[in-house]
């Protein structure tokens, strides 16, 4: 099947879709939307691999909050990165990236930061060895760019592969640093109801952008207040085109090319 859209970062592998993941997969596929289920630990990475199918891809990795010794936002417990386990999953056909990995300084203490960095570097090394890109999670306290700056330093020191900064929430200046390194940035439904990132989206090189949902979180307008799902990525594509003043079809086509280039997905 030929796909018209791709959601480069979603979580149909989470419990929020436990009861209806088959129905979600079917109607998303029927509407021509491909997606990448992103792992946040052993459990969700294994689940992402279980759900692989036509137009359904996976990443495997350990979220920085869990790597830092804390429960993730959905209540999943902390974990130590197990290279052997993740490498086994990562070698499966359809696993297109390592992560989500990086830094989360939203809730952080000194010892947490050190654990996050250790797990981040281990996942970069795995990505280097397998030749797979990184799916980056970088989150900071509002108004602070330390997590982004620290991630850039670690990537420059250790990474031999490229990757995507998911749910980008930094400044234009920070985004440009990633683009200059060859790293893409993806935007969520937040851009349909908030304006902090308008200038970044407007001024970005179109070939360095992706659209994502981060479902089940941050549903775009007009779906706010409901569970998000991969199908709603179409609203993000539409908003990117509106912000840039560009034809929606040109934006759609280029974003598919961007995903094909970075993640080596087959959308034809």
Cα–Cα distance measured from residue 104 to residue 102, given in angstroms and rounded to the nearest whole number: 7
213 part of a folded domain: yes
Identify whether the C-beta of residue 197 lies closer than 8 Å to the C-beta of residue 165.
no
Cα–Cα distance measured from residue 260 to residue 130, given in angstroms and rounded to the nearest whole number: 18
Helix (H) or strand (E) holding 49: helix 42-50
253 part of a folded domain: yes
Tokens of 162: 């490229």
Residue 59, strand partner residues = 38, 97
> For position 212, which CATH number holds?
3.20.20.140
On the question of pLDDT at 199 being above 70, the answer is yes
What local confidence, expressed as pLDDT, does residue 221 receive? 97
Buried b (16+ CB within 10 A) or exposed e, 166-183: bbbbbbeebbbbbbeeeb
Cα–Cα distance measured from residue 51 to residue 144, given in angstroms and rounded to the nearest whole number: 36
Residue 134, strand partner residues = 98, 163
Q: What is the pLDDT of residues 130-187, one digit of tens each?
A: 999 999 999 998 889 999 999 999 999 999 999 999 999 999 999 999 999 999 999 9
- Comparing 100-109, 178-187, 207-216, 240-249, the range with the smallest average pLDDT is 100-109
Tokens of 44: 């969700």
23 part of a folded domain: yes
Q: Provide the residue range defining the domain that includes 238.
A: 5-263
What local confidence, expressed as pLDDT, does residue 167 receive? 98
Rounded to whole angstroms, what are the CA distances from 130 to 13, 58, 217, 232, 266? 23, 15, 30, 32, 19
Q: Output the CA torsion sign for 223, 238, 26, 34.
A: negative
Q: What is the pLDDT of residues 72-120, one digit of tens each?
A: 666 677 899 999 999 999 999 999 999 999 999 987 776 789 999 999 9
On the question of pLDDT at 188 being above 90, the answer is yes
Tokens of 211: 């659209």
268 part of a folded domain: no
Nearest CA to 90 among 133, 120, 56, 138?
133
- CB count within 10 Å of CB 245 equals 7
Mean pLDDT of the chain: 96
Identify whether the C-beta of residue 227 lies closer than 8 Å to the C-beta of residue 205.
no
What local confidence, expressed as pLDDT, does residue 178 receive? 98
186 part of a folded domain: yes
Q: What are phi and psi of 66, to 5 degrees?
A: -70, -40
Helix/strand/coil for 79:
coil
Helix (H) or strand (E) holding 34: strand 33-38
166 part of a folded domain: yes
Q: Count up the domains in the chain and report the number.
A: 1
Helix/strand/coil for 59:
strand
On the question of pLDDT at 1 being above 80, the answer is no
Identify whether the C-beta of residue 175 lies closer than 8 Å to the C-beta of residue 200.
yes
């Amino acid at each position: 099947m030929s796909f018209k859209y791709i959601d480069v970062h979603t979580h149909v592998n989470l419990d929020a879709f436990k009861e209806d993941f088959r129905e979600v997969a079917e109607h998303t596929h029927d509407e021509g939307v491909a997606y990448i289920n992103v792992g946040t630990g052993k459990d969700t990475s294994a689940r992402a691999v279980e759900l692989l199918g036509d137009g359904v891809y996976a990443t495997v990795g350990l979220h920085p909050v869990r790597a830092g010794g804390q429960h993730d936002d959905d209540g999943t417990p902390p974990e130590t990165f197990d290279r052997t386990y993740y490498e086994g999953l990562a070698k499966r056909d359809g696993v297109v990236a390592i992560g989500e990995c990086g830094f989360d300084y939203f809730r952080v203490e000194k010892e947490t930061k050190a654990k996050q960095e250790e797990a981040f570097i281990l996942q970069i090394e795995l990505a280097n060895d397998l030749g797979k890109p990184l799916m980056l999670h970088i989150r900071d306290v509002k108004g602070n760019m330390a997590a982004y700056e620290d991630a850039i330093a670690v990537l420059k020191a250790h990474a031999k592969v490229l990757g995507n900064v998911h749910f980008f929430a930094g400044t234009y200046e920070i985004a440009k640093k990633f683009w200059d390194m060859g790293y893409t940035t993806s935007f969520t439904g937040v851009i349909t109801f908030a304006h902090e990132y308008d200038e970044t989206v407007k001024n970005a090189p179109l070939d360095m952008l992706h659209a994502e949902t981060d479902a089940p979180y941050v549903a775009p307008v007009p779906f706010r207040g409901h569970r998000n799902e991969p199908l709603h990525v179409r609203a993000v594509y539409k908003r990117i085109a509106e912000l840039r003043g560009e034809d929606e079809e040109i934006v759609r086509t280029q974003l598919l090319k961007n995903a094909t280039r970075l993640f080596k997905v087959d959308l034809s």
